[in-house]
């Protein structure tokens, strides 16, 4: 299991931007699907974006498409989530999870069940 350390969460006004990071420096994730998830109070954890580390292909939930961008570093052990045009609905604890590469292409990357989680990073968007 990959142990992620998430960072970059902060409080920001609606319309603002944040860049989240999740690092696993002891790994090189050559061919995985890595996804960002979020969980708001009282809601289920949901997948928002994923990247196929082998070729960099990206996948997004409709709620964030066009606003969020997932990326990876050259070493393939740090993933980023650039979040623009933030809204109140983006307020949540954000997490990374790594899974088998096929998950990216079947759509199952967005399922939170059975994943291994780090401590997450909190994003608070205010009006």
Where does the pLDDT of residue 114 fall: very low under 50, low under 70, confident under 90, or very high at 90 and above? confident
Q: Smallest Cα–Cα separation from 90: which of 121, 119, 116?
A: 121
At 1 the pLDDT is 78
The DSSP code for 103 is: H
User: What does the pLDDT average to over 77-95?
Assistant: 97
Q: Smallest Cα–Cα separation from 59: which of 107, 17, 4?
A: 107
């Amino acid at each position: 299991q990959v142990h992620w350390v998430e960072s970059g969460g902060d409080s920001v006004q609606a319309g603002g931007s944040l860049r989240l990071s999740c690092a696993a420096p002891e790994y090189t994730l050559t061919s995985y699907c890595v996804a960002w998830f979020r969980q708001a109070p009282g809601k289920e954890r949901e997948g928002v974006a994923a990247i196929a580390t082998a070729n960099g292909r990206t996948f997004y939930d409709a709620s964030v498409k066009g606003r969020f961008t997932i990326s990876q570093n050259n070493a393939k052990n740090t993933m980023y989530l650039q979040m623009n045009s933030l809204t109140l609905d983006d307020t949540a604890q954000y997490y990374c999870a790594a899974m088998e590469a096929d998950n990216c292409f079947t759509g199952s990357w967005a399922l939170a069940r059975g994943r291994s989680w780090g401590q997450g990073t909190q994003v608070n968007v205010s009006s």
